[in-house]
Chains A and B, each alone.
Chain A
Amino acid sequence: MSAGGERHSIASASPGGDRRILFEDVSKFYGEVLGVNRVDLVIPPGITSLVGPNGSGKTTLMNLLTGLLQPTRGRIRVLGMAPGEPRLFHHVGYATQVDAFPRGATGFEFVASYLRLHGYGPAEAAELARRAIARVGLTEAAGRKVAGYSKGMRQRIKLAQALAHRPAVMVLDEPLNGLDPMARAEVIGLFRELAEAGLFVVVSSHILHEVDRISDQVILVNGGYVVAEGEIEGVRGEMAEHPSQILVRCDRPSLLASRVFERDSAVEARLLGDGRGLLVSTRDTDGFHRLLQGLVINGELAVETVAPADADVNSVYGYLIGGNGQGSRT
């Protein structure tokens, strides 16, 4: 039964005690074509989303992180280990976006066979494969050939293969592609479960509103450069040159609009269609909130709700990369 020792726990997954993923001045060129350039990143545990348009360098970053590519320059460390070190793969699982599988394999064989290459014995590999397949909801189809699976099932079996050896770092390239809404919700639930257990879950996706919902932090990539990184709100805050949008539902939006435009920092104010609110764009969020507070204290305005209208990935993505994010393909 024993595969040779060491009981695993997530807390002890990093051999050197380094609980981070680090990119230090990393560049990758494919001949003369830029993959990524001068990337400095620190990725903490939790769900981190890589967002960017097609060809922006997301897959290159993931392939560098997992040693499938070698950096042209710079240094990468995953839990203190270099991506080229074989022992790293005890701790890293990667579901690529490549939709290909060993010929003729059933779902179970696909997952179990690679567990054998991790050093698990036949019985252990079979048990771990069964568990991983159950976690992605494919138990019924495990004995069927992967070639006959639907796109969503293939996505899920890749996910099972990536998590079967219980890695501390999960790297998932477009893992939500091809999943129906139910499966998508379940997979997102699984990501959250893994993140809550202290794992690193690095996800790329072009479905921005889903990234927004699941991410602890976001990394925006464009043209091979990291454009912004951090928590969604933090990234948004970094965009000082872009005005913040604040939605205020109140009884006298016209009054609010006139007071807003007395200030230099206001860029735009739009009345909502129902006449009971105002969408304000301002470069001075704190000043706007002080103004609003004064109007309420003086009894000039009755406020129902105040909410940021653009502190989501879509907005940040649009500011930084120039699209609205809805139709982007990565």
Chain B
Amino acid sequence: MSTRAETVEQDLVDIPRPAEGGPWGNWRRQLPALVWMEFRRTFLSRRALGPWLLALLPITILGLRAIWPNAVERPGNVGEATAIFAGTFQFHLRLVIFFGCVAIFGNLIRREVLDRSLHYAFLTPLRRELLALGKYLAGVLGTGLLFGGATLAAFVLAYLPYRSADFFLRGPGFGHLFAYLGVTWLACIGYGAAFLALAFFVKSPALPAVALFGWESINFLLPPLLKRFSVIYWLQDLCPVPVNHGPLAVIADPPNPWIAIPGLLLLSAALLALSAWKVRRMEVRYEDE
């Protein structure tokens, strides 16, 4: 251990300390550092194995179909690929992205409470609101890339066995792809904000997540007013291929995309503000301390 006499004073003079800044401090430096730190911890570590495996599900299903001999009887029927991907994307959206977001956003704060390491971040000059925002942005970035990558790969694999060059070069292929990617990112934004906020109100997000999953799953049966209180309602009609929910579905006017997208973003911002407020008031009292 160094007890060199020069350490204290020397340390003080040769590296300037960051400016304290205004009420938001040195956020331009702090926020990217936090996002990167959280991104690495959440997506580039062993704990990310579950979401990575989830993301592989639609790729595996469509990949197997693409390589399975004689799985596609009419390669010229590109419409079949469109219908198959539309169905697969519903599975991707409602199960893979949903539960992936539960696992990731539900644990952004909770995991550090369980690990008893949250206080390290609380003891830095980073505003707690920025802590919530940074963790959320890291989650959105990670899930967007992970599940967006899965959407892209699954889309390619869905059309691979078909003669789909015209569909992409002269048809709506790329339009569909971008729409699905947009819905994927919006789902990550919406579900992410919901599960981040939820984690402040329940000890384990698993049961409420299952309840929310049930709510989202029966959305097509709900009256038009109640449909609006779900993320899937706003996303559903942004998909380029409408989904047939069968004869029991309650028909409602599809939301205008110009309302659906800002509406979802506003709802997410409100939930994020709620999370920031909870973090601001949070006290560190680990149970066995």
> Which residues does A use to contact B, with CB under 8 Å?
1-10, 15, 30, 59, 63, 66-70, 86-90, 92-94, 96-98, 100-104, 113-114, 116-121, 124, 127-128, 131, 134-137, 156, 161, 165-166, 183, 186-187, 189-190, 193-194, 197, 199
Contacts and interface: CB of A to CB of B under 8 A. Distances in A.
A222 B123 CA distance: 27
Most chain B C-beta atoms within 10 Å of own C-beta, residue among A6, A87, A88, A193: A87
A100 B117 CA distance: 6
21 contacts: A3-B19, A4-B19, A6-B18, A6-B19, A9-B12, A30-B285, A69-B284, A70-B281, A86-B126, A87-B20, A87-B25, A89-B125, A98-B116, A100-B286, A102-B115, A113-B37, A117-B30, A117-B34, A118-B18, A128-B15, A186-B3
B12 A59 contact: no
A183 B1 contact: yes
Contact of B125 (A2, A68, A69, A90): A90
A114 B13 CA distance: 21
Contacts of B284: 63, 68-69
Contacts of A93: 123
Contact of A68 (B13, B117, B119): B119
B1 A137 contact: yes
Is chain B's interface secondary structure helix, strand, loop, or mixed overall? loop
Interface string B1-22: 1110101110111011111110
Given A68-B284, A116-B34, 18 more contacts: A3-B19, A4-B26, A6-B18, A9-B13, A67-B122, A68-B283, A70-B283, A87-B21, A87-B25, A92-B123, A100-B286, A102-B112, A117-B124, A118-B30, A119-B25, A165-B17, A189-B3, A197-B8
B109 to A, nearest CB: 13
B213 to A, nearest CB: 28
A127 B121 contact: no
Nearest to A88: B125
Nearest to A7: B16
B127 to A, nearest CB: 5
Contacts of B13: 7, 9
Interface residues of B, number: 48
Interface in B232-289: 281, 283-286, 289
A86 B123 CA distance: 8
B47 interface: yes
A59 B124 contact: no
B70 interface: no
Contacts of B285: 30, 69
A86 B283 contact: no
B125 A87 contact: yes
A96 B122 CA distance: 12
Contact of B3 (A59, A118, A190): A190
Contact of B26 (A67, A119, A197): A119
A10 B20 contact: no
Nearest to A156: B1
